[in-house]
Structure 1
Amino acid sequence: MTLTDTRRASTDFDQPQRRRGFVPDLDYADLAARIETGEAAEPAKLSRVGIGLARWRNTHRDAAGSGSPQGKHRADPDWRSALATTADGARGAGGGRMTSVPAPIEYEASSVQLCGLNPWAIGAAAPNSGTIVGQHAVTGEAVACDPFAYFRDNHIANPSMFVLSLPGLGKSSLIRKVLLGATAWGQTPIVAGDIKAEYVALTTMLGGQVVTLGHGGGHLNPLAAGTLGHAVVRLRAARTDAAATGDTARVEHLGELLGTAELTVRTRQVNAVCALIELIRYDTHSVRAFENSIIGIALDELYSDSGGFDYANPPLIRDLYQRIDTGSEAMLRATYQTTREGYRTHITELMQALGALISGPLGTIFADHTSQPLDLDAPMICIDVSSLDRGDTALKAAVMLSCWADAYGTVEAAHLLADAGLDRQRLFLLALDELWQVIGAGPGMVARVNEISRLNRTDATGLLMITHTGRDLETLPTEADIKTAKGFIDRAGMVVCGGLPIGEVERLSGELKFTSAEQDMVTSWSRGAALRSAERRTARSPIGRGKFLIKVAKDNTPGIPIQTVFTDLEIDSGVHDTNARFADYFDTAAGDASTGSVLR
């Protein structure tokens, strides 16, 4: 067939296309074939030849050698073929709709090449300041939770942290990871009153000091100056050396520090005795003014040259008892009595309270010299009081109060030695686990914790407060203590929330601002493990175990959801295992499940 015959045979479709750009005398079939073999170049798309060739290809798209892109995919089924492209877009309804969308092409590249693209275009805030405790629950990025590092980097206003979570969801494990990291940063963690012995294993593993108090344990002398008393001894020796070398400026500086230290020691001794007396008189009245004066006068006389006691050899409660019982002219004047009979009448209740500290349950702990003075050089200090009778609230309160006085005296001694140039500046991290038991132990504990929470920046001391819910702060005996305790959350540098019930989230709305997503997240963590059928015997963990939301601001700033992660060393050592007493039961249950012995 000649070119003329081909034109005549295609007259039916040539007529409309001649008016729309076809060149009548051009053999488009031959041109398309030569373009496909490379003998001819592709004409310009908007030229008359280009427009005519495109329309010819659309008409003959199934023909071999048409040179059209569709011809390369003619073997695909009709449902997969793409719509024809025109100058106005793809033909068909929707201008490009396909009946079946193919799977997208996947690429694999490094995080440097695809940074910010996969899986999230905008990264979530995940500070790496200080101790890394886990990973971001959404992005998987490593997250640190460190009060001192957050304070250093201006994330929080003071180095303190308040942790709220229901039991069994890993709040103590989170605190142990923070304390473990603190030792690596050169800080000294102190757990002053470990009620459940949850930090003894960690302290032992780190080579720290474990002080055991309670029935069958050691003793604690409330009149011992402890580490602060040893600091006074070192200051006196340093002042003597400075005087021998003629350094008058240093002698004057050390003298000022020594005067402040001695006054602090005496004040803490009097406060310690008065606090113990108030615990004994819990249902009657507090220490009277003249009783406070008598205790101070008796201590001054005991530490005088004729008293026979000093900071290296402190007196005991029984020595204080005998000195007050004997009485002196200064003590009689303090009671405004001129006769010894009148004096004894006034001190009867005081002597009864001091006698209770010498004998009975309190006497087994407070009637002898301190067994283990706190060691400033220890990497971690833990005072284990788990052997105390939990039903004896007076004894527990007395021990807890004395432990905190001793611990804070250690902090003051370290700062005193640093100011004198006798030791390096130390940072301390105090942990108050089971806060509800600590502040509920006695009337003086709320004031003690309140003092620390207000002055921790000045004293270079971090504070970790851990409890179950905010309701624990509302169970205190007096309204004043409740208001004071509620301020702990407000003053905390950051608040960490684990799994909490819905009512607790609503109760905290006055102190913290939760978004709706954060509320759903925190309340979902309070559920236990999902139910499973008897055939699926794999043990599951609660949904919220190890999950926490870090709130570094009290406004609407989003929190940081994290999942704690344990290292192999932590897992192998069992330092986080607080269910040790259930080990045999768990092993037995696991064995029964493996043999199919399951109750139905």
Structure 2
Amino acid sequence: MAQASYPDFEALHDQIIAGDIPAPRRFSRQGWRYYRWLRTYQRHAHQVERLLQQPGADAPVVKEKPFGLPQARGFSGRWSGHAAVVSGPQEWQTTTNLGAGFNPNVVGAPAPAIGAPLGEHVITGAEICCDPLSWFREGIIANPSCFVLSLPGLGKSTLIRKMLMGDVAQGHIPIIAGDIKGEYVGFVHQVGGQVITIGHGMGTLNPLDVGALGRVIPQLEAKITACTKAGDTGTVEMLQKMLRRAREQVHGRQVTMVSTLVGLGRSDHIHDYEAMLISVALREMYDLAAIDWDHPPILEDLIDHLAQGSAQLRKKGCCRTKTEWYELTDPLIRSLNALLDGPTGQIFAGETSTPIHVDSTAVCIDVSSIDRGDESMKAAVMMAAWASAFGAIEAAHMLADAGLGPQRYFSATLDEMWQVLSAAPGMVSHVDALTRLNRTDATVLNMITHTFKDLEALPTEEDRKTAMGFIERAGMVICGGLPNSELDILSSRLEFSPAEGAMVTSWSKGAHPRRARTRGARATPPGRGRFMIKPSKDGSPGIPLHTILTPTEIEFQLHNTNVRFDDFFKAGDV
């Protein structure tokens, strides 16, 4: 192509824009000259546009021409939209059903405002509210229970206490039957609840106490009398059945409690005939005038009654002489005497110093003063504490069924669950029954432990298999910082996306070593207060949570488990 003037290229450009002819190849002779002219023309058009924007400038007459076609990275040339680096595509999040193939790459974004306020969403910053009973009411979970797993010091107890505060605000009753470290005492005092302290020289616990369930019996008897006078036979029959059930439940709990304590003292099971003699003796003792439901017997009364040996007791024991009776009952009486002053001290000698009140805003049985190395003592007290707690729950439900009180809802908490389960041989079966029947009992179950290895360390294989099933029956699972080994075990029961797994394991890391406590601000592990809420086990995305403390919680140090280190930290600041 010969030397062409601008008008010739303008005509060529008009034909290309109109689509009459194709654009020349860029590396041809004609294409090289055309694209060189096009860049010059575009710069000239841009300069004219700048002149038009100046006030008072004369508008030159320029024929308007559109910009050329964009290249692979935009319009090239000065003042154009050329991009040297192309940004990545925009990211979107959707539900599992609508974006099935993309689910492993995301973390859950919903932030329901249902239940107790806990904190904010780790990614979106939205407020998150959660507690098992509220989510069960809304149908988010099918079972009002939760299982919390996290390494020590990352805020497991703080999270549960915030949930329990929400329970109190909604009128539910938290019960901590065996606070091993005393972490819930301040919270229960703050909400005006009842704290029962058990330990050497700090209160007594009567194994034969009728509990809250036994104290319901006089109320049932009074209502039966009133309904009988009113001629309401239907209500009388219903109340009489309820009364018989309450009496048998109290009696069975007394026999089980004494038999368990004797077995723990012997480190062996109690003989069946010895448990039978205890049962017969207790039934006879309630025929005495000095013993009733308001004044239950104590261990000394049981020992004296067995030592005397009534005709009915000797007949049940197949003893025809006093010598045979003494030979039969002496081992049992010695074991009972050991409960009054032995490894358990005088904790079981006397009446219960502080019985549980079912109308309390919260109940905490503090056993933190018990020596951690005294396994038999801890096992005995834990069994007695749980028996009292179960009795209080049953009593509240019986009062509601009889129309003598409102329907109450409870939230039972098992913090440091590895210690609770290993405290006594029957604790695993008690907790297992509660995980299966907690909906029937209108009771929330909060189970807290550090790792799966805590459950694998139980003494018997049967207990280990039973305990591993707790997480499968839990309504929701809340995971804090966990190492990779624990996440692999947990993944066999829950489905974690790669993003969720990376987030959970990142929370298990410690603070940077250069951020020392002695440099003003306290070093904080990255995973403190961060949890992944998994409300289902079908692979649905979890909800990452960052727990936030209110100014009141900080002022009263309701969640400070490092109180004994305060002086040490202050010395480091100096």
The question of a shared fold, defined as TM-score above 0.5 by the shorter chain, is answered with yes
Change (3 A) 1:18 1:530: closer
Residue identity in the other structure for 1:436: W
Q: 2:118 aligns with which of 126, 129, 133?
A: 133
Work out the CA distance in 1 between the residues paired with 2:493 and 2:72.
Answer: 57
Conservation of the 8 A alpha-carbon contact between 2:149 and 2:449: yes
Conservation of the 8 A alpha-carbon contact between 1:232 and 1:261: yes
Conservation of the 8 A alpha-carbon contact between 1:61 and 1:71: no
Q: 2:6 aligns with which of 3, 13, 30?
A: 13
Conservation of the 8 A alpha-carbon contact between 2:74 and 2:82: no
Residue identity in the other structure for 2:568: Y
Q: 1:510 aligns with which of 492, 499, 505?
A: 492
Q: 2:69 aligns with which of 85, 89, 92?
A: 89
Q: CA deviation at 1:455?
A: 0.9
Correspondences of 1:308-387 after superposition (within 5 Å): 308-387=290-369
Work out the CA distance in 2 between the residues paired with 1:19 and 1:586.
Answer: 82
Give secondary structure in 1 for the equivalent of 2:491: helix
Residue 483 of structure 2 is matched in structure 1 by 501
Determine whether 1:436 maps to 2:421.
no
Residue identity in the other structure for 1:312: D
Q: CA deviation at 1:12?
A: 3.9
Work out the CA distance in 2 between the residues paired with 1:524 and 1:341.
Answer: 71
Q: TM-score, normalised by structure 2?
A: 0.85
**Paired residues, what number?**
524
Conservation of the 8 A alpha-carbon contact between 1:301 and 1:307: no
Residue 565 of structure 1 is matched in structure 2 by 548
Residue 139 of structure 2 is matched in structure 1 by 154
Conservation of the 8 A alpha-carbon contact between 1:57 and 1:68: no
Residue identity in the other structure for 1:440: S
Residue 578 of structure 1 is matched in structure 2 by 561
Residue identity in the other structure for 1:13: Y
Summarize deviations over 1:11-33 as a string: whole Å, max 9, x none: 943356467769xxxxxxxxxxx
Q: CA deviation at 1:322?
A: 1.1
Summarize deviations over 1:373-394 as a string: whole Å, max 9, x none: 1111211111111111111111
Summarize deviations over 1:246-288 as a string: whole Å, max 9, x none: 2222222211111111111111111111111111121xx3122
Residue identity in the other structure for 2:291: F
Change (3 A) 1:525 1:254: same
Q: CA deviation at 1:205?
A: 0.8
Correspondences of 1:274-313 after superposition (within 5 Å): 274-282=259-267, 285-304=268-287, 306=288, 308-313=290-295
Work out the CA distance in 2 between the residues paired with 1:532 and 1:67.
Answer: 56
Conservation of the 8 A alpha-carbon contact between 1:226 and 1:410: yes
Work out the CA distance in 1 between the residues paired with 2:7 and 2:181.
Answer: 96
Q: Which runs of 4+ in 1 moved over 3 A?
A: 11-22, 45-48, 56-64, 66-74, 84-88, 92-95, 97-102, 533-538
Q: CA deviation at 1:206?
A: 0.8
Residue identity in the other structure for 1:236: E
Residue 403 of structure 2 is matched in structure 1 by 421
Give secondary structure in 2 for the equivalent of 1:364: coil
Residue 33 of structure 1 is matched in structure 2 by none
Work out the CA distance in 1 between the residues paired with 2:322 and 2:488.
Answer: 62
Q: 2:445 aligns with which of 454, 463, 466?
A: 463
Give secondary structure in 2 for the equivalent of 1:561: strand
Residue identity in the other structure for 2:69: G
Q: 1:182 aligns with which of 167, 175, 178?
A: 167
Q: CA deviation at 1:515?
A: 2.1
Residue identity in the other structure for 2:355: P
Residue identity in the other structure for 1:309: I
Q: CA deviation at 1:479?
A: 1.2
Summarize deviations over 1:95-114 as a string: whole Å, max 9, x none: 52545689x9xxxxxxxxxx
Change (3 A) 1:341 1:262: same
Q: 2:371 aligns with which of 380, 389, 402?
A: 389
Residue 589 of structure 1 is matched in structure 2 by 572
Change (3 A) 1:19 1:234: closer
Work out the CA distance in 2 between the residues paired with 1:85 and 1:590.
Answer: 72
Work out the CA distance in 2 between the residues paired with 1:13 and 1:399.
Answer: 102
Work out the CA distance in 1 between the residues paired with 2:339 and 2:371.
Answer: 17
Conservation of the 8 A alpha-carbon contact between 1:195 and 1:384: yes
Give secondary structure in 2 for the equivalent of 1:150: helix
Q: CA deviation at 1:167?
A: 0.9
Residue identity in the other structure for 2:477: V
Change (3 A) 1:96 1:407: same
Change (3 A) 1:73 1:93: farther
User: What stretches of structure 1 of length at least 5 have no aligned partner?
Assistant: 1-10, 23-44, 49-55, 75-83, 105-120, 592-600
Conservation of the 8 A alpha-carbon contact between 1:61 and 1:70: no
Work out the CA distance in 2 between the residues paired with 1:18 and 1:525.
Answer: 67
Residue 248 of structure 2 is matched in structure 1 by 263
Determine whether 1:481 maps to 2:463.
yes
Conservation of the 8 A alpha-carbon contact between 2:108 and 2:541: no
Residue 236 of structure 1 is matched in structure 2 by 221
Work out the CA distance in 2 between the residues paired with 1:264 and 1:71.
Answer: 97
Determine whether 1:200 maps to 2:185.
yes
Work out the CA distance in 1 between the residues paired with 2:215 and 2:158.
Answer: 34
Change (3 A) 1:530 1:94: closer
User: What stretches of structure 2 of length at least 5 have no aligned partner?
Assistant: 21-36, 55-63, 88-105
Conservation of the 8 A alpha-carbon contact between 2:435 and 2:445: yes
Residue 231 of structure 2 is matched in structure 1 by 246
Quick check: which has more Rg, 1 or 2? Answer: 1
Q: CA deviation at 1:432?
A: 0.8
Residue identity in the other structure for 2:221: R
Work out the CA distance in 2 between the residues paired with 1:529 and 1:461.
Answer: 38
Q: CA deviation at 1:47?
A: 13
Q: CA deviation at 1:150?
A: 1.3
Work out the CA distance in 2 between the residues paired with 1:16 and 1:385.
Answer: 95
Report the aligned-residue RMSD: 3.0
Conservation of the 8 A alpha-carbon contact between 2:123 and 2:544: yes
Residue 555 of structure 1 is matched in structure 2 by 538
Change (3 A) 1:565 1:335: same
Conservation of the 8 A alpha-carbon contact between 2:211 and 2:355: yes
Q: CA deviation at 1:131?
A: 0.8
